[in-house]
Structure 1
């Protein structure tokens, strides 16, 4: 079933306009067909009642329950010096199941927080496009950028990737029953020794991805994907 983004909700109808309307035409969806429409943070099952050159009208049949697969992985991503690489990270970690991504400024990352904030809207659009394509139950959340020194260990399991870690990999973690994970991934060149010790002091565990040293963007995608797939697959939670 095709999924679209609504423009506005009026009682039991949702209006679709603009680029999303073009997608309806591109997919050749016809009046009378059922579609999923996302608007105001909720997902609805609808019937496409009417389509014109300027808008489409969808009648709401019901609001769909949203079940989030566990664990909920929050990725703390040190922003690449090549800022454009963040676009791909957002898209791909959305596909592999991250719940939220938070841009992080570290010693070797991109430093200009005002520029990063200007990119948040773009990353939200990328997350919405991914949400439609991979049929996530909820779009990837994009957090406000923070400095590494302000991070807190708030999940049940708090991890960071370290190319120099010799003893612990993801397969060595006990993931059964874990509902929340924070994963921090460093920038190109990795975290400094001081940053690694700071994170360990907060309660973060250092882990390594084998067998080679990976680019930051590759490490993020693989790290999130492995955490999701090596955890208990049947656990889920309902979000309003």
Structure 2
């Protein structure tokens, strides 16, 4: 049986006893139904894995003894900051989950002219909490020990005008070149993915004003969630650690 990997939001250290946070305790106790004496692997976002054994299980609390630790770095040499215009239904959750598995470091949900999601501030805050939990679960599943940050939702232009030292890319079906023709080496990419209806012409012009390079993936028009994952994969193959 595979040893479950569990995220703990506070700093960990070897040879200590701790109570797990509510989310982790609920997953171990109610979902996995684990028992005293069983082994788990913990990580706290510091790129270190901790081996632990369960010492107490109840309906609300789980206590563990941390036995030892080891560095386990599976992070890509390519730092990707994904700016994703918020998509409808479960598409946004799917994009976040899979982009974290593919190695994205930062995700900023964006609002554009053709964004199909209209929520008030309170509901957006709930969504943000949900998206961060999805990112954590994707790290638990994929073996990552560094949890990507899901930033607060912001307008597209505000995100585009932020200072950034790396390459800035915007996908465009009529761009003059593809990811395969980008020069090397590249270590940081800010990748913009538009909504289902695409960016407006004025928004595309705006991205150019803020020094985004227009690039294409191929001859076919892709759905927003497909475009995000295809672009991330292509970038990781060319500049990161896939393939």
The alignment's TM-score, normalised by the length of structure 1, stands at 0.83
Classify the secondary structure of the residue corresponding to 1:154: coil
Name the CA shift for 1:8/1:200 in 2 (closer, same or farther; >3 Å): closer
Contact 2:46 2:145 in 1 (8 A): no
Shift of 1:229: 1.6
Matched, 1:102 2:108: yes
Name the CA shift for 1:188/1:96 in 2 (closer, same or farther; >3 Å): same
Using the alignment, how far apart are the partners of 2:78 and 2:47 within structure 1?
A: 21
Contact 1:113 1:145 in 2 (8 A): no
Name the CA shift for 1:131/1:107 in 2 (closer, same or farther; >3 Å): same
Classify the secondary structure of the residue corresponding to 1:217: helix
**Correspondence for 1:3:** 5
Using the alignment, how far apart are the partners of 1:41 and 1:217 within structure 2?
A: 29
The within-5 A match list for 1:1-240 is 1-6=3-8, 12-16=16-20, 17-25=25-33, 31=37, 33=39, 35-39=40-44, 43-53=48-58, 54-62=61-69, 64=71, 66=73, 68-80=75-87, 82-109=88-115, 110-112=117-119, 114=121, 115-150=123-158, 151=160, 152=162, 154-165=164-175, 167-176=176-185, 178-233=186-241
Using the alignment, how far apart are the partners of 1:30 and 1:84 within structure 2?
A: 36
Contact 2:36 2:57 in 1 (8 A): no
The alignment's TM-score, normalised by the length of structure 2, stands at 0.82
Using the alignment, how far apart are the partners of 1:99 and 1:8 within structure 2?
A: 20
Provide the alpha-carbon RMSD of the alignment: 2.6
Name the CA shift for 1:14/1:116 in 2 (closer, same or farther; >3 Å): same
Classify the secondary structure of the residue corresponding to 2:65: strand
Classify the secondary structure of the residue corresponding to 1:219: helix
Name the CA shift for 1:79/1:230 in 2 (closer, same or farther; >3 Å): same
Structure 2 stretches of 5 or more lacking a match?
A: none
Which segment is superposed worse, 213-222 or 111-120? 111-120
Structure 1 stretches of 5 or more lacking a match?
A: 235-240
Name the CA shift for 1:204/1:224 in 2 (closer, same or farther; >3 Å): same
Shift of 1:113: 5.7
